[in-house]
Structure 1
C-alpha cells in the first residue's frame, strides 16, 4: 500500500475514533444529567457498574493524553551541533544556560572559562574564571546560570564556592565575586522569584538564597536528604527540580516541600539522571547519562522519549520557548540542539514574530 495513502487512512481512523467518543459522551451526558438531577436513586445502575465505568474512563483519558503528547512531540530530531568554543584542550562541555534573549552560556570540564554564544552559535564573549584576590589563580566552573540582574553565576566544586561575575569592576572588564562557600556545588540555577539555587553534591542538599546589590546573601534556605544532587532547574510554579546521581529526579514546590519523585509518579526507571529543565508547559525534561537518552515527563500522560540515540554522555540541558532542546554532550564535546515540539508549546506574545527560533538552521548532512 502506498505510504501516503496508509498514513491518510490512519489519520482518518484516529479522528473518527476521537469524534465518536466525543459524540457518545455528549449524548450520554444529555440523557443522564436531567434524570439523575430530577429523581431519587439511580434506576438499575449498580455501584459495580459505576466503578467499572470510572476505571475505564480513567484508562481512556490516559490513552487520549498519550495520543495528544505523541502528536505534539517528535523524537531524535537533531537540527544543529555547536562545537565547544574552547576546543579540545579541556574536557567536554558540561554546564549550559539558555537566556530568553537567545544567548547560550557554556562551561566545560576542567576549563577556567565561561563562553557566551550568540543566537547563531558564534562566541560573543569568553569570561576567564580568575580569582581577583591576592594570589590570583583560576577556578573551574561546573555549571552556569544568569541572575535576574543579568550577572553570570557559576558553581565551583573544587573550591566549594559560588561566584558571580560583576561587569562593573576590574578596569571595565569585570571581576568575579565569591559570594558563598558551599560544600560541593555542582548544579546552579535561578528560580522564578530570582533566588539562586545550588545543588550541593556532597552534603546532599539544594541551597537557595537571594543577593542584594552588594552581593550579600539573604534569605538562605536548604533542602536536605538528597542522594547526590547534580543538576537543578526552576519550575514555572515557583518550585524546582533536582536530579540525583543515585537514580531519581525530585520535584519541589515553591515552599520547598517535596511534591513528587518522577520514578514513583511515572513508574520510570532512571540510570544516572543528569541535566534537567522544565519547559513552559510545565513538563520536566531529564537527560540520562547512563542510558544516553532524554525523556519528557508531561503533567498528564506517560513519559515520552525525545532523544533515543545520538548522545554519548549527556550532561547539562536547557530548553527554549520555541520547542528546542539544548543538550551538552560531554562525550562528543559539543552542544546538540534538538527540535522536540511539533509546534511552539505556547502562543507567542508577538503575533508578528516567527513561529520558530530564527537562529536555528537545520543540521547540514555530513
Structure 2
C-alpha cells in the first residue's frame, strides 16, 4: 500500500493539461480553531464555505454555532444556528449575494446574513427532504440538497428568492447515503456517497449530468492507486479539478476534470476530514473534524 501511495504522489506531467504546473503535498498554510467553546474555537467542525469577499465560514456541529474567519485567519464572528436531530448531519454554503444557506438534517433550510441575522427559514408543507445533508447553489434560482430518506436522493429545488418561496422540486433517486454536493462549470453535480451497509456500499463519487441522470461513477476503486472508504467533502477548483476528502482514510484526493488522473494531495495530519471548500491562490480548506480545527493546505 505504501508503494501505491508513493506512485500516486509522483508528479504527472499530464496535470499541465488541466492548468496544474506543480502539485504540492501536505503543505499546511494555516490552522484555525482548536478545541474549545469560546469564540474562534471549534469542537466538531463538519462543513465550511467562503463568502464573496473571501471570509471563511465554518459550521461547528459540536457547539451548534457558525464561526466566521477573515481570509488571513482572524476570527470575526460567531452565531448559533439551532439544534440538530443528528449531530454532524448538515452543511453550509454561500450565495453570490453573501447569504448563507444552512441545513441541519431537517426539513428546514435556514438563511443567515454573514452577521448572523436569521433572514428566513425556507420550508414548505410539500417538502420531501426530511433528512437534509449537503447543499449547493445552482443556477438560476435553484439549489441541490442531498437527503438520506429511503437510502438517499438528491433534490433539485427551485426557489423564488424575492419571496423566499419554494416553487418546485425534482428528486433524483438511487443513491446510497449521499453526503455533499458540488457543481462544476458544465452544471454537472458531483455527489459523494459514504458508507451505509458494508464497506463498499456507496463509497464513490457520482456525476449527475444536465439531464439529471447518473453520467459516471468514480470509485470505490480507482484503478490500482486508490480505493474510497468514506468520501465526504467535495469541491471543484478554478481549473475544473475535483477534490474529495475521505473521512476513513484521512486524506484528500484530487482528480482532473475528466477523472483520468488522480493524486493524493493531503495524506498526513488529518483525522476525520469532512467538508471542503476552495480558496484563492491554490489553497483548499478542510474541516478537520476530530482535530477540532480547519486546516488550509496549498495543493498547487
Q: Same fold (TM over 0.5)?
A: yes
TM-score interval, normalised by the smaller of the two chains: 0.7 to 0.9
Runs of at least 5 residues in structure 2 that lack an aligned partner in the other structure: 1-11, 195-201
Q: Is the 8 A contact 1:191 1:233 kept in 2?
A: no
Shift of 1:66: 5.4
Following TM superposition, where does structure 1 have runs of at least 4 consecutive aligned residues deviating by more than 6 angstroms?
A: 67-70
1:148 corresponds to which residue? Answer: 96
Q: Residue 250 of structure 1: which of 206, 216, 226 is its match?
A: 206
Q: Residue 216 of structure 2: which of 243, 260, 273 is its match?
A: 260
Q: Residue 298 of structure 1: which of 236, 247, 256 is its match?
A: 256
| CA distance 1:167–1:108, shift in 2 (3 Å) | closer
Q: Is the 8 A contact 1:241 1:276 kept in 2?
A: yes
1:20 corresponds to which residue? Answer: none
User: Which structure is higher in RCO with an 8 Å CA cutoff and minimum separation 6?
Assistant: 2
Q: Is the 8 A contact 1:323 1:340 kept in 2?
A: yes
Give the secondary-structure state (helix, strand or coil) at the position aligned to 2:31: strand
* Distance in structure 1 (CA, Å) of the matches to 2:100 and 2:36: 18
Alpha-carbon RMSD across the aligned residues, in angstroms, is: 2.8
Q: Residue 282 of structure 1: which of 240, 245, 250 is its match?
A: 240
Give the secondary-structure state (helix, strand or coil) at the position aligned to 1:331: helix
Write the mapping of 1:1-366 to structure 2, written as runs, cut at 5 A: 64-65=13-14, 71-83=21-33, 87=37, 91-130=43-82, 138-139=83-84, 142-157=90-105, 159-165=106-112, 173-180=117-124, 181=127, 182-203=129-150, 204-212=152-160, 213-245=162-194, 246-263=202-219, 266-267=222-223, 268-299=226-257, 301-341=260-300
* Distance in structure 2 (CA, Å) of the matches to 1:85 and 1:106: 14
Runs of at least 5 residues in structure 1 that lack an aligned partner in the other structure: 1-62, 131-137, 342-366
Give the secondary-structure state (helix, strand or coil) at the position aligned to 2:219: helix
Shift of 1:109: 1.9
* Distance in structure 2 (CA, Å) of the matches to 1:111 and 1:270: 29
Aligned residue pairs total 268
Q: If the length of structure 2 is used for normalisation, what is the TM-score?
A: 0.79
* Distance in structure 2 (CA, Å) of the matches to 1:108 and 1:165: 15
* Distance in structure 1 (CA, Å) of the matches to 2:107 and 2:241: 31
| CA distance 1:176–1:121, shift in 2 (3 Å) | farther
* Distance in structure 2 (CA, Å) of the matches to 1:177 and 1:84: 30
Structure 1 residues 284-293 or 248-257, which shifts more? 248-257
* Distance in structure 2 (CA, Å) of the matches to 1:340 and 1:139: 33
| CA distance 1:85–1:164, shift in 2 (3 Å) | farther
* Distance in structure 2 (CA, Å) of the matches to 1:260 and 1:272: 18
| CA distance 1:295–1:192, shift in 2 (3 Å) | farther
| CA distance 1:85–1:290, shift in 2 (3 Å) | closer
* Distance in structure 2 (CA, Å) of the matches to 1:298 and 1:175: 38
Greater strand percent: which structure? Answer: 2
